[in-house]
Structure 1
Amino acid sequence: MPYTPFKFFAKNQQGKDFVVGDIHGSFTALEHLLKQAAFQPATDRLFAVGDLIDRGAESPRVTEFLNYPWFYSIMGNHERMLLDSADDPNLYKSWTSYNGGAWWNSVSEQQRDTIRQAVVELPIAFEVATGIGRVGIVHADIPNTMSWTQFVQEMQSNPECTEYALWSRNRFRRIRTLGCGSPIQGIDHVVFGHSPTPQVLQAGNVHFIDTGAALQEEAELGTLTLLQIHPKLSTHQLNTRTLNLPNTAE
């Protein structure tokens, strides 16, 4: 099956839908948070904003979760670094030394192949039909000049648009500076991760939900956030420090 960077999900007729912020190898914390939210694997769905790996000590569990039938993830910039570093020695050194990828050095070659095969298939964007409307999910950002429809079309053929979706913090910085932001047209809600924030940051129809699960050394962070998007909008959070899990934030 050819790679598709965009995937649409019809409305869940049986259960609830959630979006989780950047997990960064904190999978035990995710399990606790799902239990706290009364997540039901038989009927509920969990969507992830990417950055499943790095920093947290449980990054090798990424394929375990990607194999669950109720778990769906887009690609984050850390998954992109994993893939791109295979052919770029300088990026490999930067990723494993300074960007949370040290765990990769202790993974067997067979497991590396398994992880690469799973990660390379991750889309860039999701759209989910829900009880609160159409919800878009992208890792970092979409260009300020684009509607959701324009972004979906452009992203499928324009590498620069994909890079923006994986790396940009322009919208986040503008909202943090001005306290407001323009809504994204053509969609009811859009959920982003990538940019750590002490609390969920919402402006218009945009939600930033990376609350720094693996950044426990930073006083205002160290929280994993779960945003319920169906059938209603609500937030569940877990302080990852309470679990005393090791991390490799370097």
Structure 2
Amino acid sequence: MTPTIEVPRIQRFAANTAGRDFAAGDIHGHFTRLQAALDTVGFDPAVDRLFSVGDLIDRGPECRDALGWLAKPWFHPVCGNHDDFVVHFDTCDVFSWICNGGSWFTELSPFEQQAFALQFAELPIAIEIETPGGLVGIIHADCPVPSWDLLRNELESPESDKQLRLVQLRCMWSRTRIQIGDSGGVEGLRALVVGHTPLKQAVVLGNVYHIDTGGWMDGHFTLLDIATLECYPPIDPEPGFDWEC
């Protein structure tokens, strides 16, 4: 049965004064690869924090490890569209989910499925982080409105449950900005970090950083330093960008 606990729609974090903050692209059950990328930047779990654009599960071999990562005090993801399948596992389109990598979930016991659903139901739709240079936001796919203040209002004070669900789905599924190359940005933020669309390298459109570079397939994990907005590996300065799929 789908969990009925209230989802924390926006999670807020003060500036990290002890260490560094990084954001990572879609994980899709490849936590060993992610850890290898963290090792290359000298990630220190004692003081550093890792923020995730979501899609922790499906398609990869280590989906069951997601709960262990959620227990790490330095790991903070938003809810991706694949994570949302877990939350609504008893009402979602199971055939579509299985076709997109969700078969691992059907192999779990009912008790294990409920444990996953309860944990994933606590994932926020959006995260905002204070930095010395200004506020940085994180959502999975796209910001469906022109300003962060407007998105915050849509999530925290929705006109109806139907409108709230529509906004949540657009945050988790939309590719409008990347598809049309919209460089208008999102007002009220220093930067917005998103994933969802696999690219050959990270792409910056206005103040929106698209960092899913296919670390879960044949690409690589991009880590974004949230304070400096530097990408590891660095973005190739050649103009234009290509989709992975």
TM-score (normalised: structure 1): 0.85
Structure 1: segments with no counterpart, 5+ residues: 217-221, 239-250
Residue in structure 1 matching 2:170, options 141, 148, 164:
164
Which residue type is aligned with residue 81 of structure 1?
Answer: F
Displacement after TM superposition at 1:110 (Å): 2.6
- Are 2:78 and 1:74 aligned? yes
Residue in structure 2 matching 1:13, options 7, 14, 17:
17
% identical aligned pairs: 38
Deviations 1:206-236 (A, max 9, x none): 10001112233xxxxx211111112x22222
Does the aligned pair in 1 maintain the 2:54–2:78 contact within 8 Å?
yes
- Are 2:96 and 1:94 aligned? yes
Displacement after TM superposition at 1:2 (Å): 4.5
Does the aligned pair in 2 maintain the 1:33–1:237 contact within 8 Å?
no
Which residue type is aligned with residue 46 of structure 1?
Answer: L
Helix, strand or coil at the partner of 1:35: helix
- Distance between the aligned counterparts of 2:107 and 2:216, measured in 1? 19
Does the aligned pair in 1 maintain the 2:89–2:117 contact within 8 Å?
no
- Distance between the aligned counterparts of 1:56 and 1:63, measured in 2? 15
1:25 maps to what in 2? 29
- Are 2:139 and 1:138 aligned? yes
Does the aligned pair in 1 maintain the 2:146–2:185 contact within 8 Å?
no
- Are 2:5 and 1:4 aligned? no
Does the aligned pair in 2 maintain the 1:26–1:56 contact within 8 Å?
yes
Does the aligned pair in 2 maintain the 1:54–1:101 contact within 8 Å?
yes
1:235 maps to what in 2? 231
Helix, strand or coil at the partner of 2:117: helix
Displacement after TM superposition at 1:183 (Å): 1.8
Structure 2: segments with no counterpart, 5+ residues: 159-163, 235-245
User: Alpha carbon RMSD of aligned pairs, Å?
Assistant: 1.6
Helix, strand or coil at the partner of 1:86: coil
- Distance between the aligned counterparts of 1:24 and 1:14, measured in 2? 29
- Are 2:111 and 1:114 aligned? no
| 1:40-79 equivalences in 2 (<5 Å) | 40-79=44-83
Give the length in aligned residue pairs.
224
Helix, strand or coil at the partner of 2:19: coil
Displacement after TM superposition at 1:108 (Å): 2.8
Helix, strand or coil at the partner of 2:12: strand
